[in-house]
Amino acid sequence: MRHFPLFRDLRGRRVIVSGGGETASAKLRLLLKTEATLVVYAADPGEDVARWASEGRLRLVRRRLEEGDALCAALVYGANDDVAEDARAAAIGRRAGALANIVDNLDASDFITPAIVDRDPLVVAIGTEGAAPVLARRVKAEIEERLSPALGVLARIGQGFRHAAEALPMGRARRRFWARYYDDAGPRALAEGGETAVAATLPRLLAESLEETTEPGRVFIVGAGPGDPELMTLKARRLLHEADVVIHDRLVPAAIIELARREATIVEVGKIPGGPSWRQEDINAAMVGHAAGGASVVRLKSGDPGVFGRLDEEMDALDAAGVDFEIVPGVTSAAAAAASIRASLTRRGRNKSFRFLTGQDVDGFAEHDWKALAAPGAAAAVYMGVRAARFLQGRLMLHGADAGTPVTAVENASRPDQKVVAAALDTLPEALAEAGVTGPAILFVGLAPRGAMAALERVEPSTLSLALAAGA
């Protein structure tokens, strides 16, 4: 971000435009919406500028900008369509301490004027760093369409009520009050009875909201999916956006956490394998504590909350504390990993069941029904299995698994750094080490990437360690 967007107070400040033709009037049309004192320097002004001057909307000086004219100006625009004259105007502005802009010349300007959607006092500014004006226009058109013209009126009336609304406790209650006003009560009142009706609806809405503020908090245990924000459910996105507090695992990437509101309290309760971590009791206490304070808490877990997520311990803690909760499912990483390698988890004639295993449990490497897993056609997804790879290999071989059984590791499934390692059972630990799999990964026992089965049959298993790039 080379240019930082901000809103400059221009009330009563001088803004100078050098030039009086088409380019200048295009800028002026925007500047006339502000509360700035506009001064235009143009020896030969066009019709628009002359008219605005005669209407008293700006001051016109019928000569070119000279040294000293820009004293105390906030902004100076070079809008002469003349490179030399614009550069001279910008230099005069800068020497007087103003920020200078040369229209359509980003590199010679101190700031750029964004595309604007105006629902004053609601203003949306759109910039592309000059990279894609077409894109800016399209985004502007989309936002114009989405924001009802009534929003400006509602925001203006709402502004006058902000102080009264402070009777509501900060956070969820106040936010819900305003959401109701803008989404429902406000537009309805405006349509039915105009501005007077809107003004009358606010105190009524406030009284209703005050009655509800004794409501206790709630916890949503939400599956964030495997990492790609597009693989979240709409419900997960909405709850995350509405949450007062977000308590998330380390595996949930920043791109998803960013979907929370800026004012939300974000707590990372990372459990780094083998490193420092939050104890489950502390996570439970954080959930209960925030909910008891009336907050809407989103407990955000990677994948699906019900798959190797210690969900029951968290539900037990919430029940014990009498906190109401709801579970929102998510795409578990095995489903995402299977999609990445274009494999189905179950297939007619191959496997009638599919197992979700963990490589590790409280006692170390986890024991399973190895005989069933070693049978031809058996398929399983092993979570937390990378460190247990050699153990897994030994147990399966011991129970008669074919040495060539395909085993596929999908690391960081659905993320930009996804890596696929297609191996066979007898070379699994070496293939994982060689590919350097260190991130979260699913090991599929009995599943190969689509199209790779043929390759597995042709190549000597011991020489096979295929590192496929994402989507390959």
- Binding positions for ligand SAH, rule: CB under 6 A: 226-227, 251, 301-304, 307-309, 332-333, 337, 383-384, 410, 412-415, 440-442
CB of 322 to ligand SAH, least distance (A): 26
When the beta carbons of 19 and 226 are compared against ligand SAH, the nearer one is: 226
CB of 437 to ligand SAH, least distance (A): 10
Contacts of 152 (CB under 8 A, 6+ apart): 118, 119, 120, 121, 122
CB of 428 to ligand SAH, least distance (A): 15
Q: Of residues 244, 249, 304, 426, which has the active-site annotation? A: 249
CB of 230 to ligand SAH, least distance (A): 13
For residue 244, indicate whether it is catalytic: no
Per DSSP, which regions of 240-379 are E strands? Answer: 245-248, 265-268, 296-301, 325-328, 355-358, 360-361, 364-365
When the beta carbons of 102 and 447 are compared against ligand SAH, the nearer one is: 447
CB of 448 to ligand SAH, least distance (A): 17
When the beta carbons of 302 and 408 are compared against ligand SAH, the nearer one is: 302
- Listed in sequence order, the DSSP H helices in 73-185 are 83-95, 133-146, 150-159, 162-165, 172-180
Crossing angle of helices 428-435 and 389-398, rounded to 10°: 160
**DSSP notation for 133-159:** HHHHHHHHHHHHHHS-THHHHHHHHHH
Share in percent of the chain as helix, strand, coil (round to 5):
40, 20, 40
CB of 317 to ligand SAH, least distance (A): 18
When the beta carbons of 176 and 250 are compared against ligand SAH, the nearer one is: 250
Whole-Å CA distances, 123 to 150, 182, 419: 13, 15, 43
- Alpha carbon distance 80, 43 (integer Å): 11
When the beta carbons of 396 and 420 are compared against ligand SAH, the nearer one is: 420
The verdict on whether omega for the bond into residue 121 sits within 30 degrees of 0, i.e. cis, is yes
Q: Of residues 82, 104, 118, 271, which has the active-site annotation? A: 271
How is residue 30 annotated by DSSP?
H
For residue 271, indicate whether it is catalytic: yes
73-78 sheet: strands from edge to edge: 59-61, 37-41, 14-18, 73-78, 99-102
**Residue nearest to ligand SAH according to CB distances in the complex:** 303
When the beta carbons of 86 and 304 are compared against ligand SAH, the nearer one is: 304
- Alpha carbon distance 368, 346 (integer Å): 20
Query: Catalytic residue numbers?
Result: 249, 271
